[in-house]
Structure 1
Amino acid sequence: MSMSMNSLPAIPEEIRQLIGCYLDRETLGVAIQVCRSFHSSFIPLLWKQAELRGVGGVGGLGGVGGEGVHSSNSSAHSDIDRNHLLTPPVTPTTNDKDELTWLSLSPASSSSLIDLSLFQVRSRHIEHLTISGLIPSLYCTIVFPKLRTLIFTEAFNIIGGESAMQQDMVRMARLNPTIERLTINNIQPSFSAQFWETVFFHWKNPKSLVIRYSPVAKSSAAALWKASTRFEELEFRGVDLPRYLSTTTAASTSNASDVVVSLPSPPASSDDDSDSDDKRSSSPFFLITSFPRVKRVHLSITPRLHPRLHPFFNPTQQLIMMQSCPQLRELVWEGSRFHIDPQLASQFISSLTHPPRNTSSSSLSPPSSPSSPSTCWPLLESLVLINISFRRSDPHRRHRLAEILLSTPQPLKSLTLQGGIWEEPFAMMAMKERGHLKSLQSLSVRGCKGFSSSMVRECLMLCEGLVEFSADFIFAQDVVVPISSSSYCERGSGSDSGTGTVGSSLGSHATGMGDSIGGGGRVKVQPWACKGLKRLKICIYTTALDDKPNTPSCARNVLKQIATLAQLEHLDFRRNLVDDRNLLNLSLESGLDALDALIRLKTFRFDDCNGRSEGKREGGMMMMGEEEMFWMVKQWRMLEEVSGPFLRRSRILSENEAVDEVGAVFREHHVVYSA
């Protein structure tokens, strides 16, 4: 029996709220005009995430409209007529039509700022707020009772200059103590010390602080450092903290957790033309607490591109900061092709194996005593190193990564190595010896030079707990390895290689594998251990031999091996490297139907199998077309998104028209498509 329109309002409020969670903003905007009950149920969902864009604001969450003045420089607004901005637009009443206009749900144009009275009325629903552009002060006087996330992004400023901005930011921080996540993204005026003091004393439960490419003034640095001690997650990217704040030294204090922060003046340099107020005879000291709540740290190393652009917050000082986080669970260290020198590498490894020492930065060398069970980060379970490698002059360069992997206080649950160098055989031996292959739930080695196809195969065969895995590539012949092949089990069979149990492990898995995989013949293959894998990103390279149907590594056999990962929800075969090698053919004729077992699949992404993805898309190998499209939406009932090239139905159609045509087919089945 169909439900009539009159019975819709009778749906319980809890059910309406649940339904609303699955509707997009456009649908919600239509629904609030149906009846009063829908209006009261869905308005809070529409306003849960909002964006306040003033003059110069940038697009983002789609909360309100804005004008297209793009500049982060305050002086860039000098040519703007500010008279009409000093008082925000106010209307005595609002209706649904006006509200849809403000929410950018209507094609009608909107003014540069959301109506102040409407914003005040709906403020009780807003939990996530993004502010950009030039904003009048009155908007900073609004109380948001449920506000959890606050983001200041490019070109944000307050009408009236920097002094007005500092006062308004302090007022806003004091009026909204429920904020848990604060992001400051590319904001030129430094937030004042009073703002950070307000955060420290008034915010109830701060969790995440993110500062990206925004300056920190000397006058506010100490207060920022102090406020940071209350957060659980810290991310500083492109942030140069003033010199006197960057290094910790020991101090005799009544509280053992207190740390004195100071940094001696740098040695004089002929090219040092810093401002005079940076040159001083002595460094001021002030007392801060360590970071007892911080569980995640993300720091980036700022490259020294010019003598005036000195990175005060240098790698050694960053390491000292991280050493002050005893509850650290995830460490993210990002460089710009940064090469760690031998001393810093030893200091980092020492932090993994030894407790922090109450000494100055000049004495950070590893202790001479035997390794202690206590370390700087006893709870560390996730390590992310991005674009960080070791200097060629380091005599132990080839062993450094292995030393890091061996020195972790416990086997890792998550490991990301991006843009570095994977040194074999030492790194993989360390992974096995420390037990990472058994404990890892997430592993990403994209852009990691030296991580070969055979190493990808080892991870898939040995990492039983993997849920997410990402690598650059694997060859088809490494996906389907016959059990009769002894090369894998014999390789590295020495007692010190850590692979002594590989053969028996594979044997036990193989005997339990009921189905064989074969093209022309019946071929039993070495199975993958990661049966719980939900997200896989990797491209599969093929050779001329792999295209023959009777070979073990033909496309159908490879896809049957992929299909054994029955828990997969996200599958990405797109090319990670720029090269001309052919990818695995994914047409139905080649064996796409072997993936019909992936009934949980939500996203599927792929590239043209013919060489470069931007190359010729028709002719040569078989491409996917209309038949494959309908097969996907029929077999993968949970499919939400598809990305990749499909064969044009007609050569008369342009490439853009063909993309629109394919997109229309997927939209009929509620699937998002992109080429």
Structure 2
Amino acid sequence: MATILDLPDEIHLLVGEQLSPKVLYSCIRVCRSFYSAYIPCLWSDIRVKQYKGNSISPDQLRANAHRVETINYSSTLTNDYYTIVYPRLQTMTTSTYFADRKESTFLQVQPHQKVQFARLHPTIRKLSFDQPDCPSREFWEVVETEWKDFESLDLSGVVLEDVVDVFWRVCDRLKRLSLTGVRLSKDLPVLSTLSFSRLRQLTIVKYLWSSKDIPYHNWPLQLLEQVKKSEGLRLLRWDVVDIPFPSHMVMDAFEEGCWSELCELYVGGPSCTDKDLASILRLLPSRRLTCFDRSSDSLGPLTYSCLREQYFSHLQDLRIGRRCTGVSSAMAQEMLTECVHLVSFDVPHIFVRDIATAPKSWGCSGLENLKIYITKQEEDEARWEGQVFRQISRLRRLESLDLQRNPYMYSDTMRPGAIRQLETLDFRLSPLSSTMSNDNHSNIDGNNSCSEDDIRCWSSLVLLQEFLFDGDKQELGLEEALWMTEHWRDLWCICGEFRGVKGDDVGELEKVFREKGISYFD
């Protein structure tokens, strides 16, 4: 009888691509055949940072360089790492962490060493650059002339005056361009000769804390005007704190016949009126919207009505984040019920009452990422909370479940006072009930997926990788922690307070998470 060990290495590699690093490590430890088959999977995508006592040395990287396809280089790395050649490298990320600035080796690599690294890797297709030093003109010239298949740039940093022309020429070749907190040393115009004809995704972001002393002036608007020439643009994200969303420019583009493929729209920054945003959605040439993000400002009634009337049957990614006002619990329930193709969903809050008393269950059975604060009102019936647990238990594809009140560390003052005073679900394990009355299932579709009224219902969430919750009104203990780690085998991150764990048990809690390879944040 054939077993998995009899499969060729090519099939093993395809299987390995679907497994988490935790599972791959387990396979490698128990079987020599798995070791040879899955080691390439572990080295194909790596992050390199000089942690004390936990670093990947240059010699280790050289020995496995032929396996590396995606790599993340920390800003603390020294010159030795930039002399390594990765013959299959396609994705390069250079990142800076807050703690890096305190390291003695912070930014010791010289600009010419990064230029040499660029020359050694003409196979790179995607570059994500987030470091304080500015790429030199020579660096961008190498990218322009030698990276023949380069198609994606995610830049956060400075573009110097002598670099601007070659930088925009590089951007003109791209399919995906993301500029986050990018500063131009002078407000030089975008070259009018460029067409951006290959561009499919454009992101322009500037947050309150990025480059706040240096205004963006006109270059984002000039860039968007030039991008009108891109016939295949599918994604537009604009979240610039000092330039309002250019709603009339976007509407003009639609009326001129531009962007016929646009189906992903992310609107942030200073206010875009409800009327303008609704008009944009109604004029959308493609007549379909798969992704919509309104994470700041407000969601007006005209915009919501347009989404409901035209796009609920298309939406896959719907984000109306915690900073956005104008979203009621009833609206959240309606979206979860009617947007049947949702994969990712993010709204401020929903009441237990609205979930439990709804005539229909949620229609988004394929949901993978859910971010919502589920809160109880004082007059809610006790049995309703169990119905909420059962409703979520049906989302069997969930990989991330974020039930925090303020997941982005926003101040509570940014939420309605009435919501701040209410309590979240109770995640404690209660004594098992003997039987449940038919009443407990009457308002959910009748498919009894579990027999408990608490978190035990979520044993069905076998794909869950992240769980984030509020523990301010309850005391979760070791029992709950052990249950989570035993039932959610792919779990790699827990964020929330286990207030019931005290004294000597604190070390035991940390040991449980450490042995399971789970990152824990309270």
Normalised by the shorter chain, which TM-score bucket? 0.7 to 0.9
Aligned to 1:644: 496
Unmatched runs of 5 consecutive residues or more in structure 2 = 97-105, 413-419, 431-451
Aligned to 2:164: 221
The alpha-carbon deviation at position 658 of structure 1 amounts to 4.0
Counterpart among 84, 88, 94 of residue 152 in structure 1: 94
The alpha-carbon deviation at position 430 of structure 1 amounts to 1.3
The yes-or-no answer on 1:386 pairing with 2:287 is no
Aligned to 1:403: 279
Contact kept in structure 2, 1:539 and 1:574, CA below 8 Å: yes
Structure-2-length-normalised TM-score: 0.77
Aligned to 1:377: 259
Contact kept in structure 1, 2:91 and 2:124, CA below 8 Å: yes
Counterpart among 182, 196, 201 of residue 291 in structure 1: 196
Contact kept in structure 1, 2:66 and 2:86, CA below 8 Å: yes
1:8-47 map, 5 Å = 24=21, 44=40, 47=43
Q: Secondary structure at the match of 1:387?
A: coil
Aligned to 1:662: 509
Q: Deviations over 1:564-610 (max 9, x none)?
A: 4344343222213722321122334492157257343414635346x
Distance 2:16 2:306 in 1: 49
Identity of aligned residues (%): 27
Counterpart among 303, 317, 322 of residue 427 in structure 1: 303
Distance 1:635 1:147 in 2: 37
Aligned to 2:255: 354
Contact kept in structure 2, 1:296 and 1:328, CA below 8 Å: yes
Q: Secondary structure at the match of 1:537?
A: strand
Contact kept in structure 2, 1:406 and 1:431, CA below 8 Å: no
Aligned to 2:103: none
Aligned to 1:54: none
Contact kept in structure 2, 1:475 and 1:542, CA below 8 Å: yes
Counterpart among 457, 468, 471 of residue 347 in structure 2: 471
Structure 1 624/574 Cα, relative in aligned 2: closer, same or farther at 3 Å?
A: same
Contact kept in structure 2, 1:467 and 1:532, CA below 8 Å: yes
Q: Deviations over 1:614-658 (max 9, x none)?
A: xx65xxxxx444554455456556655544333536xxx34xx54
Aligned to 1:187: 132
Structure 1 189/594 Cα, relative in aligned 2: closer, same or farther at 3 Å?
A: closer
Distance 1:666 1:12 in 2: 35
Structure 1 302/219 Cα, relative in aligned 2: closer, same or farther at 3 Å?
A: farther
Aligned to 1:104: 55
Contact kept in structure 1, 2:462 and 2:487, CA below 8 Å: no
Aligned to 2:244: 340
Q: Whose Rg is larger?
A: 1
Amino acid paired to 1:411: R
Structure 1 333/307 Cα, relative in aligned 2: closer, same or farther at 3 Å?
A: closer
Aligned CA RMSD, in angstroms, stands at: 4.0
Distance 1:306 1:233 in 2: 23
Amino acid paired to 1:329: R
The yes-or-no answer on 1:205 pairing with 2:87 is no
Structure 1 663/458 Cα, relative in aligned 2: closer, same or farther at 3 Å?
A: same
The yes-or-no answer on 1:561 pairing with 2:462 is no
Q: Deviations over 1:270-290 (max 9, x none)?
A: xxxxxxxxxxxxxxxxx4x31
Count of aligned pairs: 474
Amino acid paired to 1:223: V
Structure 1 566/309 Cα, relative in aligned 2: closer, same or farther at 3 Å?
A: closer
The alpha-carbon deviation at position 146 of structure 1 amounts to 0.8
Q: Deviations over 1:218-250 (max 9, x none)?
A: 222111111112221111122233657434xxx
Distance 1:142 1:305 in 2: 33
Aligned to 2:424: 583
Contact kept in structure 1, 2:235 and 2:265, CA below 8 Å: yes
Structure 1 178/383 Cα, relative in aligned 2: closer, same or farther at 3 Å?
A: same
Structure 1 535/40 Cα, relative in aligned 2: closer, same or farther at 3 Å?
A: closer
The alpha-carbon deviation at position 340 of structure 1 amounts to 2.2
Distance 1:640 1:220 in 2: 42
Distance 1:307 1:14 in 2: 50
Aligned to 2:375: 541
Amino acid paired to 1:246: P
Q: Secondary structure at the match of 1:540?
A: strand
Contact kept in structure 2, 1:178 and 1:205, CA below 8 Å: yes
Unmatched runs of 5 consecutive residues or more in structure 1 = 51-60, 67-100, 106-112, 160-164, 248-259, 262-286, 356-373, 391-396, 483-524, 618-622
Structure 1 143/411 Cα, relative in aligned 2: closer, same or farther at 3 Å?
A: same
Larger relative contact order (CA 8 Å, sep ≥ 6): 2
Contact kept in structure 2, 1:20 and 1:28, CA below 8 Å: no
The alpha-carbon deviation at position 169 of structure 1 amounts to 4.1
Q: Secondary structure at the match of 2:159?
A: coil
Distance 2:94 2:40 in 1: 22
Larger displacement relative to structure 2 (325-334 or 299-308): 299-308
Structure 1 547/184 Cα, relative in aligned 2: closer, same or farther at 3 Å?
A: same
The alpha-carbon deviation at position 335 of structure 1 amounts to 2.0
Amino acid paired to 2:196: F
Counterpart among 429, 442, 450 of residue 326 in structure 2: 450
Structure 1 414/526 Cα, relative in aligned 2: closer, same or farther at 3 Å?
A: same
Distance 1:210 1:593 in 2: 40
Contact kept in structure 2, 1:405 and 1:430, CA below 8 Å: yes
Counterpart among 173, 176, 184 of residue 121 in structure 2: 176
Structure with greater helix percent = 2
Q: Secondary structure at the match of 2:313?
A: helix
Aligned to 1:517: none
Contact kept in structure 1, 2:24 and 2:42, CA below 8 Å: no
The yes-or-no answer on 1:114 pairing with 2:58 is yes
Distance 1:668 1:387 in 2: 43
